[in-house]
Structure formats: C-alpha cells, structure tokens
Amino acid sequence: MAEGEAEWELCKENIQPLRRGRAISALHQALSQQDGAGYAAIQQQKQAFESELRLYSGDDPLDVWDRYIKWTQQTYPQGGKESNLSVLLERAVKRFVDETQYHNDSRYVNLWIKFAESSTEPLDMYNYMHGQGIGVQQAALYIAWSEELETHGDSKKADSVYQEGFKCGAEPADKLHQYHKAFQARVSRQVMKDMLDGGEQEPDSPEPAQPQRSSLVDLKPRGKKTAIAPIVRTGAAVSHRSRGLNLQLPTAPHNGHNSRFLVFDEKQASAAAAAEPSEPRPERWMAPPSSRAKENEMMPEKWTDVKMPQKSRAGHSVVAPPSKPNFQPYVEECDQPPVVTPHKINPTVNTVLSVRKPSKEETPLERLQEPQQAEGDKKEQSMYCKELLFSGVTEFCFEELRAERYYKRAAQELEEKEKKLKEVKEDLKRQIEEKRNVLQDRCPQAGAGQQGRLEAGESSQPVDCLPGCAVSRRQGSDPGFKIYEECEASSSARVNQPVENEDPRLADKGSALVLPFTIFDESTTGEKTQEVTSKAVGCRPSVCRPLTAVLKPLAEAPATRLESDGLEGIESLTDDAIVSSYKNKTLCPSPDDTCDFARAAHLASTPFGGSGSGLGASASSADGLPDLSTFSVDPVVSAPTPAVQQADYEVVLRGERLSPIEEASLEDGHYSVSSAFSGSSLGGMSGMKAMHSSSGMEACPPQFPSIPEETAQNVEKDNPCSMSSRRRVLSKVDLDSFPNFYRNVRSLPEVMEDDALFIGEESIMILSQIVSGENGVVHFGQTKSRESVVVKVDFETVPWDFYVAAQLRSRLGPKSQKYFGYRSSCFFYMDGCITLSWGRCLSPLQDFLERSPFLQVAVSLTKQLLEMMEQMHSCRLVHGNIRPDTVLLRCRESGGDADSVLQMLDFSSCVDLDQQPEVMSAGDLPSAQAFIRQGLLSTSSSPYQVDLIGIAETVYMLVKKQTMNVVREDSEWKPTDDFTGTLHGHVWQEFFQKILNPGNQSTVSILSDLQHLVERIFLCGTENNLMITEYF
Amino acid sequence: MTGSNEFKLNQGPEDSISAVKFSPSTAQFLLVSSWDSTVRLYDVGGNSMRIKYQHLAPVLDCAFYDPTHSWSGGLDMQLKTHDLNTDQDTVVGTHDAPIRCVEYCPEVNVMVTGSWDRSVRLWDPRTPCNAGTFTQPEKVYTLSVAGDRLIVGTAGRRVLVWDLRNMGYVQQRRESSLKYQTRCIRAFPNKQGYVLSSIEGRVAVEYLDPSLEVQKKKYAFKCHRLKENGIEQVYPVNAISFHSVHNTFATGGSDGFVNIWDPFNKKRLCQFHRYPTSIASLAFSNDGSTLAIASSYMQEQGDINHPEDAIFIRQVTDAETKPKST
C-alpha cells in the first residue's frame, strides 16, 4: 500500500478527477501496473465488456455502456488514448440519442455531460441536449450547463439556465436550488469584489434573485480598461471541473466574444426570460455537435478555408473536421463531416479513404438513424453482421463473436446441468421423505422383523441415514417420546434393514449412531442418573429420547458429514455383526425384563455392539462399559450366551449408567467364558473366579470387555484391545521379520495335555493346562531339551503376546530378560497361532498369594512389580491388566537373576502406544472402564495409570491379603484400611497415596519413586532374601 | 461441375471448420481443426480419418511442424502438439486469451502463434517450449510466414512485419490498404510480398520491400461480390492460399466461391462452382496438385441454419492455376 500511495502522490496531477471520486484500489492498481500482469487482466475485462455490448439481450443496454464507461474511468485514471474514453462516450451517447426512454435517465444524461465536458464546445452540446429534450428533467444538465456558462463569463445566461431548470421542474430540485444559490453567491461576490475594485457603481445592486444582466454588463470591460480582457472566470473563481484536454486559453477570447455576443443579443431582444432565446435553439441544434479531436487538432481560424486532409498519417487518425464557430451552428451542422472518432478509424463512417466521396451531405444524426438506407443508397449490402462487429468500442472479428456465443452456450449448459442435478437430488429427498412417512404409519403394528422386510426395498440413500435406534418400541407416554417418535420410524427402519443394504449405509448408521452419543452424553447426564435405578425398558426409550433429539438434525445431514466426524469404528462393521445381532434380537421389550436390559447393557458395553459399540469405547463416558467391568458377586451364569445373541441396537441405547451390581455379574461371567484374546490370560479364568469369590471389590481390575466368539471379529476399532485393532497393528508391523516367527499354511495342530506337540523343530511335551478358554489354551510344556516353556494356543490369528514380547525385547534390550522372558517363538497357522515362551514358570501370583506370604516377601515382590512396570511403561506399552493372576512367579534358574521372581507373559490386555496412537487416554482402554466409573481414573487420564491402579490392587492383596476398597477423602483416594496395624504402615500409606493419586506425573517417575519408597521397607529386613529363597 | 476431380471428405468434423492444412511433404494428409474442439488428420487418398485428438474448447488453427507433428490452438488458450505416429498429446504452453493462428517457420525452425491477448509467441518445436512473447499493438487476427519474416495482421487494420531472427523490434509497421477489418494475410512463396483480404470483399497485394518503386506496385481489387437486384452484396474474403509453384493464389469468400488469381498479371484465372456455404479455409498441397476447400458456415450472419459443413478435395490442373503466359 505504501508504494501505491507513493505513486499516487507522485502523479496526482495526472489523474483526472472524478466527481464521484475514485476507488483507491483501482487507482493503485492502475498506477502501479502499467504493463504486465495487470495489463492482461485489463484487456480481458475490456474484452468482456465488448462482448457484453454485442451480445446483450436485456432491456437496459445503457447499463452495459454505463458500467463499461465507469470501469474505464476507474481503470485509466490518467485518461489517455488507451482508455478510449472519449470514443466510448461518444458511442454511448450517439447510440441512445434516439431512445427517448433514456432521455431523462440520469445515467444517460451524465454520459452526455461527461461527453460535453470533454469536448471543445460543451455549450453546443448542452444546447443540443436541451433542444432534443435530453436531460431536461435532470438537474445535472442545468448545473453543468450553467457552470459552463459561468466559466465563459456569461452569468446572466447561466442564471437563465437555472431558471429554465426550475421551470422544467428538474430533479432533484433541491440540488438545483443549492447550486443556484452557490452560483448566485459567487456572482454577487464577484460583483462586490468588482465594486470594491473598480469603485464603479452598477446600476443594479446585485440581487441574486434578479437576472443579473445589468451587473454582467458592468462586469464587462470596465471603465478603466478598454481592452477586451477576457474576464473568463476560470480557475479559482469558478468551481473547477475537469476540462479534459481542452485548452482554455484559445477559447477564452472566443468565448468572451461569444458571451458578449449573446448578451448583446438578449438585451436587444429584450426577452424577459431565458425561455424565449431558447426556443430558436431547438431548431438550430438539430444535430449533435460533432466530436472533436482532443488534442493535436488544428483549430482552424476560418472554417471555410480549411482543406480536408487527403490521407491520414500512417497509423493515425483522420484530422477531425474543423470546428464550427458558434454563431452559425445551423449551417455548420450540414457541413459537418461524418462523425469520426479521431483515434480510430471507424470504417463505417470513414469517408476519407473511401473510394466513394460522400455523395450527399448527411448529418451524423441522419446517418445514425438510417444506416441501412445509407448503405442501400450506396447500392451495397454487407453480407455479414457488420453492426455486431463494430458495435462496441473495439472491433471484433467473426471468430470472436462466435467464441462469445460459444462461451454463453457453455455457461448455459453448465447451469442446466447443475439444475438437473439439483432436481434429481430434490427428487430423491422427497422419495425418502415419503418412505419415511410410510414407515411411520407402519411402525406401530409390525414387529421389527416385518418392518425389516417391508423396508427391504427402500432405496439406500446414505444421505438421510439415521442411526439405527435400537428401540423401535414405543414405551410409555413420556413427553420425551415425542421427539423419539419423530425419527423413530426411520430409525426402526434402519434398524431392520435387511443385510443386503450396502455397507456404506451401515457405516452411516454406525457413524450416525456413534456421533450422537457423545452429544447425548453431555446433554443428558442429569437425566441419566435419574434413570439409573430404573431397570425398566422404559429407561431405554427415555434414554433414546435425547438420542433421537440429537439424531434428528443429523438425519438430515449428508452421510459424508457424519462419516467425516471421525468415527473410525464404523468401517469395521460387517454384515455379520448386524445379521447376527438383529436376527436374534427381539425388538419389543418387556419393560420388566431386566434380563433383556442386562443383556443389552452387556452388549452395549461390548466393543462390538453393532454400530454403537464403537461408541462404547470412544464415548469414553464409559456409561455402558462400566457395567461390564463392574464386579459382580454372582458366578458365571449362562445368561451371557443369550445376552450375546442380543447384540443389537439396544446396545446402542445403553448410554446410561446401568446398575452396577446385577449386570456386572452377567458380564463378568461372560467375560470369563469368552475373553477374546485372553484365552491365554493366565489364570484368567480361575482368577476371575477367585476374585468373584472374594468380597465384592469395587475397584476390581477391569476386565477387558469380553467379546463373544461370534462377534469377535466385529470389534470396533475404538477398542484398542480388540482383535481388529490388533490385527491392524500387526499388519503394519511385519511379523515375519521377527525372529522365531513361523508361518504355516496348515490349520492349528491339536494340543492336548500329556501329549507331544510337534511344532516347528521342537517337540514339546504338553504338561498341565494353566488356563483354557474359548479363545485359547495355555499349557506348561517341556521341550526335548528339558526346557520349560509356556505354550499358548490361540484360536485367533493374532499373535499379540508374541508381538508385545518381541517389542519389549527390542525396545528394552537385554533388560527385558529380567521380567519378560528371554525367548519366545510363534507359529502362525491359518486359524490360530501357538506361542512358546521359554521360562520356567510356576504359577500365577494368585496362587502364591493364597499361601499368605510374609510381608517382607510382599515388599520384595512389590518392588519387582514396580520395576517391571516401569520397564514396560518406559517403552510405551501399557499392560492394562495387572492382577495377581496375570503376573507369574517363576522358578529361579540357576545363575539367573536372583532378584527377579516375577515374570510377565500375558499381554492380552496390553496396548502398544507406539503402534496404537489412537489410545490417548485411559478412557480408550477397555480395562480402565471400571476405574473410570469409580472415579479412580478420569477418562482423560493417561493410559499408563491403569497399570498403577492394577499394581495398587495387587500390592494390596499381597500386603493385606484381601481386595482393596478405596474411598475418596479430601480429594484423594486412599484405601479404606489405613495400615495402622501393619508394619511400616506409614510407608504403605504413603505408597498407596502416591499410587492412587498420580495426578499428571509420568508413571515412569512415579514408579521409580515408589520403588525407592519400598526400598526403605525392604532394607529394613535383610532376612528378606533368605525368606524369598525359602519359597522358591 | 464436380467431376471426378473433386470429392468430399468423409467423417468430417461435427461443427464448423476453422482451418485446413496439408502436410508439408505430401498431398496425402490433411490436418483439419474445427469448432467441435477436435483436430483431425485425414488420409486424402483413402478418404478416411486417421487420427483425431481433442482440445478443451473449439480449435481455431492448426499447422504441421513436420509430417509427423501437428500443432494446434484455440479457445482453450492451450497450444498443443500431437505426435501423429504415437498419437500422443502434449500441451506446450498457453496464451492469456484464445489462440487465433498457428504457423510454422521452416527457415528459423520455430512455431509461431498469435492470440487475442495481443501477443505473438514463438515456440521451439524440438523441446518443445516457449521461445519468446512479443506484444502486438492489437489483437492478432492472422499471420503468415515469409521466409524468415513474419507478417502479423491485427485488429485496427494494422500489419506488422517482424524479423524472426531478430524479434527485438518491429521491422515494419503498416496499415492495411483496405479500409475494413483484415481477414486473412498470406505471404507469397517467393517471399516478396503478401496478400491481404478484408471483410468487405476486397483483396490487396502488397510488397514487403519498403522502397518506393516496389511500393508503387501494390494494388487492391474487389472480389467476392455478388450483384443481386441492383444491390451489390459484399462478402468477407476469409481464406487465401498460394500455389507453391506458380505463385498464384486462391481466395475463398463467404459467398461460397473460390477464385484463383494471377497477381502479376492482375487477372482472375479461374472460379470454381459455388460451394454450399461460406469458404472458411483453403489449402494447396505442397506440390500444388490438390486444393482443400473447407466449406463451412462461419456465423457471419449470426447463428442461423446453414448447409452442412464439409471439406472438399479438388485436384487442380495447371490450366486452373498457372498464369497465362501472354
């Protein structure tokens, strides 16, 4: 901008001022870019205007000209030849001279005035205009006219012009008045000045109201001066305006002469008003004054003596015809040579080079009015669209014209296409609306399944995919249902869609489902808590109330938007999930059927849960999940199996906190039956049972939500422990590059106890079974070379443990051997994998606990546990499930590290934060849900803190031999038992206080702090080592 | 009239034809650019279309660089070269406004394009890349190559002569001798001068040598005018093509006639029959044996119904094209 300003400052004088001002931006642009980039753009714009001029088909062609001229003024602030402004003006003016509708159009009048101003004889123009009736209703004409007269010194005339204006009722009248007043003020000031100067008395006192003829007379050569000094009030005395390129001086005497002449005439005529003199004018000024060359024009002294130039100079214009004297305009007009734009040779009217001399005298006006006839007179007919070629200011060629037509047509076609597409879209939308209405009618009667059939044919329009609210049932008469009902039909429709719908549809369902839940959670927390206790299905509808309220707007949203809201879980939805889920689902709830509810709750919290499952993990409100993870007292029940069947959109609803106690039992039982990956969770099963049998512990380590076998493959991406997310991680990693990873194309070999397993190059004797589950079996084994191995047989083709162990080894280096085994190999089969881990392990810690270890031993174990976890955390692995039954005690090999008796082999809940960056907080971990529900963790805590709590529980077990209950006091968590009776109680207190309230500290540092803490206890008794050896 | 010496090409373009050019080495192949946005290569002998390639918008001109490469440009402002052997396109460059003319200069080995963006650009055909942009005073309507000189006809009836080996300045600035818009300029094969046609049924023969004696020889004449009911109908003269051997030239106008003129004797040698509609373009083959006539309405009188556009191939004889030695 600064540069632009500088330019402006430098060439202010070159800028033609505009009455209405110049846009500073255009000014800068014009000044700074004389050539180059701006040039091309200007040319393009010009071309556009030119073509618009030719192809315009509307009612107001003046508009095009007007805009073109305005643009030209702005773009060419210095005026000049290139702007063609004068040509433009002239053309525009001439073009509409016959169209009376424009005669009093202010734009047209302004064009005329501008044209007049830039000509050499504006007065002629004004007279002509007045005669033609152009602008007689416009104040602008009178103002400009009288200004011109004033400049010429003819104030009397000027005033008469004003009077004329008043008489004609020119608009806007107040403007006219204003200018008139100003004019009179000027005149009187001048008169006063003259009076003072000359000391002469004017016969008439200057009275603005009177025609100022007398004063004018006096203003003429004053007494002192006899010379006819031109008292041309130009410049300062008169409001200045741009005279273009006119020369003032030569005209001054001329004008002075003129004014004198005129005044003289009027005096003699003794006409009272100016009206009378004006009358002859219309007769005299029938033709518009010719345009003049603006510069380089010879101003002939005697018009009769001027010769017509024979030939134009190369590349330059014809010399304009001689200007006519003012006093014989009539004669002049006839003799006017054709109107020629001086700059360009206008072939249409160029008679200079014509082989035919103008045969008769034509006024330009006549020529304009009857161009065809003129041509006809000349006996020639142009067989082409001459007018179009030359109707603009610059010429066009045939191809340009055709190109413009082509562009226009192309634009039209494009518009039509767009319109058509819009119509199609509208049409489809309408269809969907109709179908939706139809569904609404049908919904009350039919059951889900029927509805599904009915809607089979519905066009799958992802655009309006609504989340499949599981609840198609209409329950209760809660006012909230109103909203529910609105989209209930469509939701049920969605719910019951037959499988053959395309995946994107499902995906949208899911996505739509998932997204609203988050909103739902935020907005309806309050309501939820109220509903918590009620187990009626009535809850569900009300649950879905806010849901649908949210969903409604979403329903209108295009699918893309929904999907793009980042609901990753959706894509992994497969038809299987939906099929299996709703096939068995009963859509009509019995309000009192808590089993249904329980099942739903369970499923709601499973990662799969149809579309909503993803939500389960991602919603991180853990509303559904907590129930799963809550501990239940009841043993495993068969209920889970049907619960599994239920998958379903009920799940979706679960959004709210379900009663922890009852449901949890079902969940847990379910868990143990089918802990997906943790088929090999050592002692998982037994551990679960053990845990169950012990007193209900609220802070039970979270179980990773069990995934029923059949739905195992439908886990949402959002559950980082799910099969699919692990598969993803593994697919990113090249498993084959790990040492000891063997791929086979066979199916899983049979592994039976007390049998030999031939695997790889090994033959292993399978010993006792540690744990067996639906997803895997774990055995102890012994190789031929008498090495103890732990054999894990997974029925899933996701060798997660192997992967984690390998990662630990690679990330920790040799340190890993202390706690994580020194060698493992994995054999990958078509339908499963077998992982061998070397290391003689005895039993899970759980078993050891039952033997009531000494406190010192507990301390030592604690320390080891802490160190182990510190190692894991330091390489960005979250274990996720530290419990007495997942930690192994191992046999100390001779020569091995004496201090490490713990070993971790079960990584079924492990999450690799390197490869799974989507796990960003504890809320993402399924195993953390219980803690979150309790409040020990918040959804945004670091995922590592899950392990801290796991450690806390384990240690508590070790120390106190009972499960830990925590309570929140003074904004801190602490175990209910305050260790007052325990040895080193205060240390333990501090320990638990630290571990349960990690805050934002990094867990690695916390763990090392705790280690130091525990050291203090440890060192107290040196006999610990002996103690430990005793046991092992 | 149409004896066996003339036939219509099959598979003609679907819209108006903007230019026809024969291959520089043979009369066998003809390049045709059209308002249907395609450029086609025809096998004249076999009367079939060999290759067709597309532009994004109507193509206004085309030219051969060598028998295997064609260059073309049009309303899409892109200059394209097409390898006729491999049938591969390349966009060489662009103008800021539609490209109106494409020509090749063998002496300097450069492709020349003129555009409505008031510039002439040179292109190196081997690389291919831009070899310079030269501003003209007005929109370029036509151009022609005479040896190593370039004659550019622009709007405003200007004619500029450039030296292709030295484009730093304009060699000659002229004004058209005709008082109407320049329609077409073609240079003499003997490089002595050029022929200029306008939209008002007139053709001028001018010479490049600025010396006065030579300049005296220039002249203009009326042509392509029809008298009907006492009114002379004036038609634009759209196309000019020179016979490479005899230095005679053919003109085609919107009246549908093709005339062959002898510029030295100032006589008309021949007039062919009237073609269905305006002649948009003419091209003599390199040996002068064949004349391609593009009869295609150019919307001179607006967008009206018109006879079908077609390309006629005519075998011309010496009788029609050789100056009468009298």
Contact A871/A812 with Cβ under 8 angstroms? yes
CA quadruple A814, A816, A822, A826: dihedral sign: negative
* DSSP β-ladder status, B78-83 and B88-94: antiparallel
| CB within 8 Å of B49: residues ≥ 6 apart | B10, B11, B40, B41, B42, B43
Query: How confident is the model at residue A641, as a pLDDT?
Result: 43
CA atoms within a 13 Å half-sphere pointing along the CA-CB vector of B7: 10
Instruction: Sort out which chain B residues have CB atoms less than 8 A from A394's CB and list them.
Output: 155
Are A350 and B179 a contacting pair at CB < 8 A? yes
Query: How confident is the model at residue A544, as a pLDDT?
Result: 41
CB neighbours of residue A1027 within 10 Å: 17
| pTM of full prediction above 0.80 | no
For A21-171, strand residue ranges (E) read none
Q: Which two tokens stand for residue A121?
A: 């004889």
The residue with greater pLDDT, A767 or A679, is: A767
User: Which residue shows structure tokens 């020569």?
Assistant: A895
**Tens-digit pLDDT profile for residues A629-673:** 344 334 444 444 444 444 444 444 444 455 545 444 444 444 444
Nearest to A667, CA basis, from A616, A733, A730, A726 = A616
Calculate helix-pair angle for A248-269, A139-152, nearest 10 degrees.
Answer: 100
Query: How confident is the model at residue A583, as a pLDDT?
Result: 46
**Mean pLDDT score of chain A:** 63
What's the angle, vertex CA B257, arms to CA B251 and CA B261, rounded to 5?
35
| CB within 8 Å of A326: residues ≥ 6 apart | A121, A123, A124, A254, A258
CB neighbours of residue A241 within 10 Å: 14
Confidence category of residue A866, pLDDT binned at 50, 70, 90: confident
A379 closest CB neighbour out of B139, B181, B231 = B231
Instruction: Sort out which chain B residues have CB atoms less than 8 A from A353's CB and list them.
Output: 179
Instruction: Sort out which chain B residues have CB atoms less than 8 A from A379's CB and list them.
Output: 230-232
In Å, how far is A69's CA from the nearest CA of chain B?
20
pLDDT at A609 over 50: no
Are A383 and B231 a contacting pair at CB < 8 A? no
Query: How confident is the model at residue A575, as a pLDDT?
Result: 46
Helix (H) or strand (E) holding A762, with range, is strand A762-772
CA-to-CA distance for A568 and A985, rounded, in angstroms?
48
CA atoms within a 13 Å half-sphere pointing along the CA-CB vector of B321: 24
Write the burial class of residue A440 (CB in 10 Å: 0-12 exposed, 13-18 middle, 19+ buried). middle
pLDDT at B189 over 90: yes
**Mean pLDDT calculated for residue range A345-369:** 45
Cα dihedral: A187, A193, A195, A198 (round 10): -130
Instruction: Sort out which chain A residues have CB atoms less than 8 A from B57's CB and list them.
Output: 406
Query: How confident is the model at residue A624, as a pLDDT?
Result: 38
Contact A647/A711 with Cβ under 8 angstroms? yes
Are B100 and A354 a contacting pair at CB < 8 A? no
CA quadruple A805, A810, A813, A814: dihedral sign: positive
Instruction: Sort out which chain A residues have CB atoms less than 8 A from B235's CB and list them.
Output: 383-384
**Mean pLDDT calculated for residue range B135-164:** 93
Write the burial class of residue A225 (CB in 10 Å: 0-12 exposed, 13-18 middle, 19+ buried). exposed
CA-to-CA distance for A487 and A439, rounded, in angstroms?
10
A397 closest CB neighbour out of B57, B58, B141 = B141
**Tens-digit pLDDT profile for residues A154-200:** 888 888 888 888 888 877 888 888 888 888 888 888 888 888 876 55
CA-to-CA distance for A16 and A22, rounded, in angstroms?
9
| CB within 8 Å of A426: residues ≥ 6 apart | none
Q: Which two tokens stand for residue A619?
A: 């919603």
Q: Which two tokens stand for residue B187?
A: 């240079």
B contact test, residue of A81, A399, A412 with most B CBs within 10 A: A399
Share of chain A above pLDDT 90, in %: 3
The residue with greater pLDDT, A803 or A895, is: A803
DSSP for A230-292, please give it. -----TTSS-----TT--HHHHHHHHHHHHHHHHHHHHHHT-SSTHHHHTHHHHH--SPPPP-
pLDDT at A138 over 50: yes
Instruction: Sort out which chain A residues have CB atoms less than 8 A from B117's CB and list them.
Output: 40, 43
CA-to-CA distance for A538 and A833, rounded, in angstroms?
46
Are B116 and A400 a contacting pair at CB < 8 A? yes
pLDDT at A1021 over 60: no
Domain residue spans of chain B: 6-321
**Mean pLDDT calculated for residue range A854-873:** 79
The residue with greater pLDDT, A922 or B225, is: B225
The residue with greater pLDDT, A745 or B35, is: B35
A contact test, residue of B139, B172, B238 with most A CBs within 10 A: B139
CA atoms within a 13 Å half-sphere pointing along the CA-CB vector of A301: 0
pLDDT at A582 over 50: no
Q: Which two tokens stand for residue B265?
A: 């004797």
Query: How confident is the model at residue A678, as a pLDDT?
Result: 41
Size of interface A-B (CB pairs under 8 A): 98
CA-to-CA distance for A899 and A893, rounded, in angstroms?
11
pLDDT at A25 over 70: yes
Query: How confident is the model at residue A490, as a pLDDT?
Result: 45
Query: How confident is the model at residue B246, as a pLDDT?
Result: 92
Instruction: Sort out which chain A residues have CB atoms less than 8 A from B156's CB and list them.
Output: 344-345, 395
Query: How confident is the model at residue A85, as a pLDDT?
Result: 79
The residue with greater pLDDT, A288 or A475, is: A288
A384 closest CB neighbour out of B35, B230, B236 = B236
B contact test, residue of A344, A356, A382 with most B CBs within 10 A: A382
Query: How confident is the model at residue A282, as a pLDDT?
Result: 39
A380 closest CB neighbour out of B97, B118, B234 = B234
Contact A51/A404 with Cβ under 8 angstroms? yes
B contact test, residue of A402, A405, A406, A408 with most B CBs within 10 A: A402
In Å, how far is B136's CA from the nearest CA of chain A?
13
Query: How confident is the model at residue A688, as a pLDDT?
Result: 43
Contact A926/A704 with Cβ under 8 angstroms? yes
CA atoms within a 13 Å half-sphere pointing along the CA-CB vector of B85: 4
In this predicted structure, which of A92-96, A197-201, A234-238 has the lowest mean pLDDT?
A234-238
Nearest to A355, CA basis, from A320, A308, A311 = A311
Q: What's the residue count for chain B?
A: 326
Confidence category of residue A960, pLDDT binned at 50, 70, 90: confident
**Mean pLDDT score of chain B:** 92
CATH number of B6-321: 2.130.10.10
**Tens-digit pLDDT profile for residues B276-287:** 999 999 999 999
Are A384 and B18 a contacting pair at CB < 8 A? no
Chain B from 205 to 224: CB within 8 A of any A CB: none
Query: How confident is the model at residue A461, as a pLDDT?
Result: 41
Contact A618/A924 with Cβ under 8 angstroms? yes
Query: How confident is the model at residue B65, as a pLDDT?
Result: 93
Q: Name the fold adopted by A723-1031.
A: Transferase(Phosphotransferase); domain 1 (1.10.510)
Query: How confident is the model at residue A948, as a pLDDT?
Result: 83
In this predicted structure, which of A22-31, A572-581, B233-242 has the lowest mean pLDDT?
A572-581
ipTM for the predicted complex comes to 0.93
Instruction: Sort out which chain A residues have CB atoms less than 8 A from B60's CB and list them.
Output: 399
pLDDT at A705 over 50: no
CA-to-CA distance for B15 and B33, rounded, in angstroms?
10
Report chain A residues touching chain B, CB-CB < 8 A. Answer: 40, 43-44, 47, 314-315, 344-345, 347, 350, 353-354, 376, 379-385, 388-389, 394-395, 397-403, 405-407
Instruction: Sort out which chain B residues have CB atoms less than 8 A from A388's CB and list them.
Output: 302
Domain residue spans of chain A: 149-285, 446-674, 723-1031
In Å, how far is A413's CA from the nearest CA of chain B?
14
Are A379 and B232 a contacting pair at CB < 8 A? yes
Q: Which two tokens stand for residue B284?
A: 């003599």
Chain B from 153 to 182: CB within 8 A of any A CB: 155-158, 173-175, 179-181
Confidence category of residue A341, pLDDT binned at 50, 70, 90: very low
Are B97 and A44 a contacting pair at CB < 8 A? yes
Query: How confident is the model at residue A246, as a pLDDT?
Result: 37
In this predicted structure, which of A129-143, A215-229, A323-337, B107-121 has the lowest mean pLDDT?
A323-337
Query: How confident is the model at residue B62, as a pLDDT?
Result: 95
pLDDT at A493 over 90: no
> Could you tell me how far CA A281 lies from the centroid of its own chain?
67
In this predicted structure, which of A136-150, A275-289, A876-890, B37-51 has the lowest mean pLDDT?
A275-289
B155 closest CB neighbour out of A381, A385, A394 = A394
B179 closest CB neighbour out of A47, A354, A398 = A354
pLDDT at A436 over 60: yes
In Å, how far is B325's CA from the nearest CA of chain A?
32
Question: Does A917 sit behind a cis peptide bond, omega within 30 degrees of 0 on the bond before it?
Answer: no
Contact A80/A343 with Cβ under 8 angstroms? no
Task: Please list the residues that pair with B153 across neighbouring strands.
Answer: B142, B159
| CB within 8 Å of A263: residues ≥ 6 apart | A154, A156, A157, A213, A216, A217
Share of chain B above pLDDT 70, in %: 99
Are B117 and A43 a contacting pair at CB < 8 A? yes
